[in-house]
Structure 1
């Protein structure tokens, strides 16, 4: 098993308080997020599952995938979900020179903005103002630059670990249902790598949380 926190440690949240780890509320609102799409067939399957529960989510998209699959990105927007920047090439900020990282972020920003403008002329020029660093790895200088551009850096409270092919699908499900509380930001991946776990987990998570009176909200820009 890979080393990661399923439930983000409180100390980490305090140390990096400039990042958004959760969105506390007293209304049982939670925030489903999906990273790394849009991905043919998988993202559309996710959208179908969400629709069954009238659940809204936030998709942190890779710019390259947006350009390759604009019709899927359009469907995300048209279905009432939110989108966020996940860099153009899924870069690891710790391993990337700052200038290159920001340029890659800007390429994704442009891809999102261009397609949003085509979907609805009324939002021409609108840019999504939320960003999630791939792998959750970003340098302080990189984060500072993005915040100066008006972006919120969205991390997570609960990691499903659907990407981890060494865990069982039952373990992946338990990661979510045993750690979610009001205000939790939960991470899934609409990717080929994660789909073995996601296909089992997502319908059951949606059913469980709906039955326990949670509501599914988007992360506001």
Structure 2
């Protein structure tokens, strides 16, 4: 079963996390996790530029170190950069100290950012308390499921279009697993 929108009770339990940004302007927020990915990120940047759309890219430090020119290009085009940890660790299976160290390591290789998104969207309450001392934790209110190998382009569009509302934060993935399906869907 796919949970495209986080349940209401989860958002109420964790009100300090940013789930959406209502603004009365019919504006939505496109975000891409796992950046940068050579060639695919460039394709996304080209598409966004051709449509005059800005997005937020949550970058993995290991990839940022390997592809700094892509990070520079994101910024030069006016996109936001967010921290997505250095090695894409799952917080539920990593000690808090190691997890924070991984976030800080990513911080050291990215341009200054106050945004953080946890890989897999998972954090414990005590991790949230530590991380929010230095970052605004951005989650989402629509998960496109572009990482699911069984999903179709039609289903991704349905996941987004049937759930989008003013201020929605939509998460896509900028990685090899999602590349083919997103090129069909976006």
Q: Same fold (TM over 0.5)?
A: yes
How many pairs were matched up?
186
Q: Once the two structures are superposed, what CA deviation does each residue of 1:9-51 show, in whole Å capped at 9, x if it has no partner?
A: 2221111111000001110111000000100000000001101
How far is the alpha carbon of 1:5 from its aligned partner?
Answer: 1.3
How far is the alpha carbon of 1:8 from its aligned partner?
Answer: 2.0
Post-superposition, which runs of at least 4 consecutive aligned residues in structure 1 deviate over 6 A? none
How far is the alpha carbon of 1:4 from its aligned partner?
Answer: 3.9
Partner of residue 152 from structure 2, selected from 160, 168, 185? 168
Partner of residue 159 from structure 1, selected from 143, 154, 159? 143
In structure 2, what is the equivalent of residue 93 of structure 1?
Answer: 91
Correspondence 1:13-162 to 2 at 5 A: 13-113=11-111, 127-149=112-134, 151-162=135-146
Larger Cα Rg: Structure 1 or Structure 2? Answer: 1
Q: Which region of structure 1 is more displaced relative to structure 2, 140-149 or 92-101?
A: 140-149
How far is the alpha carbon of 1:147 from its aligned partner?
Answer: 1.1
Gapped regions of structure 2 (runs ≥ 5): none
Output the aligned Cα RMSD: 0.9
How far is the alpha carbon of 1:109 from its aligned partner?
Answer: 0.5
Q: Once the two structures are superposed, what CA deviation does each residue of 1:180-208 show, in whole Å capped at 9, x if it has no partner?
A: 11100000011000112110111xxxxxx
Q: Measure, in 2, the Cα distance between the counterparts of 1:201 and 1:169.
A: 5
In structure 2, what is the equivalent of residue 209 of structure 1?
Answer: none
Alignment of 1:177 with 2:170, yes or no, is no
